Structure 1
Amino acid sequence: MIRMSLMFLCGLGAALGGLGCGSDETPEPPGTKPPEPPVTTDAGPGGEAAACAPLGGTVVVSQEDGITPSILWTNGSYLLAWQTRTGGTEEVRVARIGTDGSVSPAHVVATLAGTHALPTLQATSSGPMVTWEDTGPSGLVIQAHTLGADGTPTGQPIQLGTSDASEARPATAPMSGGLAVAWMETPGARLGLVNGAGMGSTTALPGARFPALASRGNELALAWSMGGDLSIAQTTGMPGGSVTGTVVRTGAGEARVPSVAIDTSGATLVAWEDTREGEERIYLARVSASGAKQDEVRVEDAEGSANWPALAVMGERAAVAYYQFQGGPSSIFLAVFGPGLTRDGATLRVSGKNARFPAVTFTGSELGVAWAEKDAGIRMRRVSCDG
């Protein structure tokens, strides 16, 4: 039996074009900049310190204009994938970043025919894999490419599916039987499983928009939106037939841009943009393994539009990265929550100005946070969290 929740995200085109300010930083060659002091915001009346702190300085992964990075910890190093837009050419690129801040030369995985890629990295039984969307002869095509340890493309691209929507926004999660993939189409979304034989049977998600996936072993969690409703579904193995979910958010405004994860207890965590108060806020909810909503908390603790949550679990703790405009250009922030979604320390400012579209991964001992800086390229930072 599968349980699901509904949710809606603002169009990516609006997000890319309408959020963010012009960069005031000069691009630097790939490598590590001098360490930048962390900036914290008070999480409560006690004025406690942040639970996390940067390890070293900001790593310049690419100095060319890029957007929507994805980050993965695999084979003892980080892989980053992103969409680069340089000289009128759009590409999906992947680079390896060592824990010493070294950056390997970026590999071009795909040259795009369209303008939206939304690359996503996953670790599969066949090795790292990057998926993305592109424009095909009769609509959007969802593609994937297996990578070597340093991000080198291996073999040939794999077509996972097609979509007649204006954007497919593919989401992926590794499963023991292959790779779970979900994407938008008209008028809903679709969920499928890719294995060695190609795409297996798929399941339609009527009316669902902007799906997000997470997995742990053979457990799969799926979040999606429908206007003001945000739903979660949990299953062991791939569903057959229809999907039923638990609505964890409904009411005024919209739920947008979900990000999901499964913690060590088997509970599903979901973070999303929420417009119940008019301006975008970030909320986080916890749903038990039995499908019952347990807790909900607002993530950011300062005023200003907050966007694009990226979620990672650290045991039974959750880390949420997002970008926020606090009276000026946007920066990347990181908040940590313990069991019961109690706030763990103050919020950490991870980046400088003009930073957007964060991605986060947990290595087992530290977090890797990546982001795009408007007109200035792709950056990342290692972050250590107490406990």
Structure 2
Amino acid sequence: MKKSWWQFLGLVIVIAIAIISLRSPNTVPKSTPVTVKLSGWGGSPVEQRLLKQVLQDFEKQHPNIQVKYEVISDQYMDVIKTRLVGEAAPDVFYLDALEAPFLMSQNVLEPLDSYITPEFDTADFAPTLLKSFQYQNHIYGFPKDYSTLALFYNKKAFANVGLNNPPTTWSELRAYSQQLTGKLNKYGFGEIPELARQAYKIQAFGGQVTDNNGYAKFASDSALKGLQLVLDQYQKDKSSAQKSDVGTNSGSEMFGQGKVAMVIEGNWAIPYLKETFPQLEFATAELPSINAKKNTMVFTVAYVMNKRSLNKTAAWELISYLTGKAGMQKWTGTGFALPTRKSIAQNLGYDKDELRSPLVAGVTYATPWQVGKYPAPIVNNFDNQFVSALLGQQPLKQAMLTAENEANKQIKAME
């Protein structure tokens, strides 16, 4: 009888130990992996390889989160907007600052404020960049990288005409351009007459691209004063050229091919020029001041979260890694992109880099490439009419009034 009792007691103890073991935190089976869908537009093969590497690093550190990365190669924003309406949008996706105001106003993005921890250190982001993704006191995205514009100049062409330093004012740039035209290069300066490259000139004399209600306002006298600088150099001096004038597809290409001695471009031009034109000797400088004011443009893209995502915690883990200090250092460590975090720019030495420091310096005073909720009418009408004025087909004021009126008519129809 005693033996049976002890056998029974022993069996109870064994079962109890087994139950306790099953409940132990150390033996809890891993949860089912969560899949986060990330969408972006297609970039260069270098960019795609780099992003995949960073995503693999993320998955190693987050074994319960798998990232399904999708490239939308054509009509990116149209596809994203369609999917947002149809509830089929990715959990996380790229959002250009230009398109951000509209989506932030449509209640389709998840505000990220409640996810932020002190360790994430939002103060580390350049304020100009972060502001582009803020709306009604909420943060809707964190910028993954950026570029300002800098002056690229041909060192051999400068030396050939006795120029030792880059121009620091626009009047100097115009004088340099005249000296350089017809020498080693056909033209002194390569002009890109798109609003994305002209908005800071509109602002140089107190002009605006849009008013407080988001309507086009680039036909004011102060706006025209900045734009007239472009026409004078192109029409009167004949020392600048558009890419179509010299049979090229971009500012970087006409500079690399030696068609122009100076051009204004972004960080993307550096790896392109080094790889495609390895013999080219060039340098960079901050943009020349206009009306005694320093300015440039800044372009940036953020990771944002779909408000209807079913995996918001995991989606935030991905965003916070990609835009956190460790992930950003990996993403921008090759120089392919510039880090939006000030600490990473310093860690990588970009603030002292011979070619990139002018780009980094510009972010503190740059004009963000953002023109309200309805950018397409503003951009398209400006670009079409400004080129017409540049070619002498109509007076500048008439062209800008036409562009402004047509843009505002289209915006009213979209509201």
TM-score (norm 2): 0.26
State which structure, 1 or 2, has the greater radius of gyration over its C-alpha atoms: 2
The structure whose RCO (Cα within 8 Å, separation 6+) is larger is 2
Higher helix share: 2
TM-score (norm 1): 0.27
Higher strand share: 1
